Chain A
Amino acid sequence: MKTFTVAKAVTALMLAGLVLLPLYSQLSGNIFILTLFTRVVILALAAASLNLIMGFGGMMSFGHAAYLGIGGYAVGMLAQEGVGSGFIQFPVALAASATYALVIGALSLRTRGVYFIMITLAFAQMAYYVASGLARYGGDDGLTVYKRSDFSGLINLSNRTQFYYLCLACLFGVVFLIWRIANSRFGLVLQGLRSNEQRMQAIGFPSKRYQLVCFVISGMMCGLAGALLANNTDFVSPAVMYWTRSGDLMVMVILGGMGTLFGPVIGAVVYLLLEEFLSQLTEYWALIMGPLLLLIVLFGRGGIMGLLGRLQRG
């Protein structure tokens, strides 16, 4: 950190808060807050993965929740079939997400703009209906995961604190990776394509290859979030893939600040806490949440990160 900025200070505070949260939960005896934040951290991971293609790659994927489901079902289905080892479940979740991303990406990337948004949405809805049709795995009603992924004594996912830290480590790892990618050769090509595709082709870059690889990396990261989510809720159902969930992820990214490193994490924290807080106040919380988000997006160009940046400049 070369210079002090408000955005950096807020980010550092939030990260410190996330790290120390289990301590607070233990001291105050508030178990609920740990459960809530485990979910926040997992969805922040999903939002960060979406940010990689949306913010850095300029590809507006509206079907990102599909990976939450794919990662989740990989865990759930394997558990159902008696394969309880996380060393098998998690790699399968990642491989399945990568395969799906490769196929969907190869088809979707033939289109641009609104069509890209619509086609990614359509594929995610297809995944949703496929999951609904899996009678053996609960169909519409979803699938209960009776036993969390077993990492043979290395880490116990049924222990709240251990599981929370596993999720947090995954989040930090993914953000770190995205940071490295963003500044790598690959990342510069990706951001160049976001900025001016014609120019990038003219200087010798075949655009689709790079975008497809980015799509796959992002899908795998979100698949990881899905595998964690299934462990967190001990349950996976088609609902996690529903298009509104993809929308939630998009809102988190835009709310926090698209194309910034920690924006999606802040976005996820703020979005989910607001949701939690407002839904306790009133049944009609969505009526407050909607306009509030609209205001932030309208007046805070660049999301919360952009807002913090302008705050400093006055």
Chain B
Amino acid sequence: MAEPLLRVDRLVRRFGGIIATDNVSLDVAAGELHAIIGPNGAGKTTLISQLTGHLEPHSGSVSLAGRDITYLPAYRRCALGLARSFQITSLLLDFTAADNVALAAQAHAGTSFRFFADARKEKGLRDAAHAALDRVGLAHRADVLVSRLSHGERRQIELAVALASKPKLLLLDEPMAGLGVTESQRMVQLLQELRKEVSIVLVEHDMPAVFALADRISVLVYGRVIASGDPAAIRANEDVKRAYLGEAHVVTHHG
């Protein structure tokens, strides 16, 4: 079998007495959309943070395209082709949408120790920014300050920022969080498009979205992966039904 794009091997992270990540192993093949689901507090964000380098694991390893990145700082992982979106929108609010995205492009286009030339006039960066904004359908909002954009638009900018760094692997931490029904649908459509170009790890609460999008799903409960497989297998898995899909199913069974 070919080397997977991302391999997580027996990752452990504790907070005091709580084991937030408990021997988690999973891998993501190139071109795959791998969803991670789990109830609140299952340790999804903790896991993502260890993948992006914002949190160090206590043991285990993470490798990207065969290279061990377990202890690399976030900015180095980004240079290797790992991009993320944040669960709680994290953008430069006092910058325009285009500036936010252009900075991500700038990080991957030569040195930023240039002190004199106007960076906003660099055609390459501007074009990259507009292409990424266009990709998420926000080209018309390019020159608006992010602080003036709606929540839904900011979620889309998050995605554009991640795309602008031309990543191999996109880590999306609940891109649907807080979106309305139509906005969610638009996001699902967008992800359908993106998955053709880039491998994606998707952490998401929105079950219909996950089952519509994912090639494979890993289910995280109390920091452990209790099941991993394609959507049909996960839907049929009894452990998952009990632990996650939960009471609703139990009720329908009894009802």
A residues sitting closer than 8 Å to B (CB atoms) are 180-181, 183-189, 191-192, 195-196, 198-206, 210, 213
Q: Which residues 87-119 in B have Cβ within 8 Å of A in the complex?
A: 90-95, 99, 102-104, 106-108, 111-119
By secondary structure, the B interface counts as loop
Contacts of A183 in B (CB 8 A): 118-120
Q: How many angstroms between the C-alpha atoms of A184 and B114 in the bound complex? A: 6
How would residues 156 to 195 of chain B score, 1 for a CB under 8 Å from any chain A CB and 0 otherwise?
0000010011000000000000000000000000000000
Contacts of A192 in B (CB 8 A): 92, 95, 103
By secondary structure, the A interface counts as helix
Contacts of A199 in B (CB 8 A): 86, 90-92
Q: Are B95 and A189 in contact (CB under 8 A)?
A: no
Q: Are B108 and A185 in contact (CB under 8 A)?
A: no
Q: Are A204 and B78 in contact (CB under 8 A)?
A: yes
Contacts of A200 in B (CB 8 A): 92, 103
Q: How many angstroms between the C-alpha atoms of A195 and B52 in the bound complex? A: 20
Given A185-B119, A188-B106, A196-B92, the answer on whether A202 and B114 have CB atoms closer than 8 Å is no
B residues sitting closer than 8 Å to A (CB atoms) are 52, 54, 73-75, 78-79, 83-84, 86, 90-95, 99, 102-104, 106-108, 111-120, 122, 161, 164-165
Q: Are B119 and A206 in contact (CB under 8 A)?
A: no
Q: Are B103 and A210 in contact (CB under 8 A)?
A: no
Q: Name the residue in B52, B92, B94, B120 with the highest tally of chain A Cβ atoms < 10 Å from its Cβ.
A: B92
Q: Are B103 and A189 in contact (CB under 8 A)?
A: yes
Contacts of B120 in A (CB 8 A): 183, 188
Q: How many angstroms between the C-alpha atoms of A268 and B8 in the bound complex? A: 57
Among B73, B74, B119, point to the contact of A188 (Cβ < 8 A): B119
Q: How many angstroms between the C-alpha atoms of A196 and B91 in the bound complex? A: 7
Q: Are A201 and B74 in contact (CB under 8 A)?
A: yes
Among B95, B117, B118, B161, point to the contact of A203 (Cβ < 8 A): B161
29 A-B pairs whose Cβ atoms sit less than 8 Å apart in the complex:
A180-B115, A180-B118, A183-B120, A184-B114, A184-B117, A184-B118, A185-B114, A185-B115, A185-B122, A186-B113, A188-B99, A188-B112, A189-B106, A192-B103, A195-B92, A195-B94, A195-B95, A196-B90, A196-B92, A199-B92, A200-B92, A201-B78, A202-B54, A203-B78, A203-B104, A204-B78, A204-B79, A205-B112, A206-B73
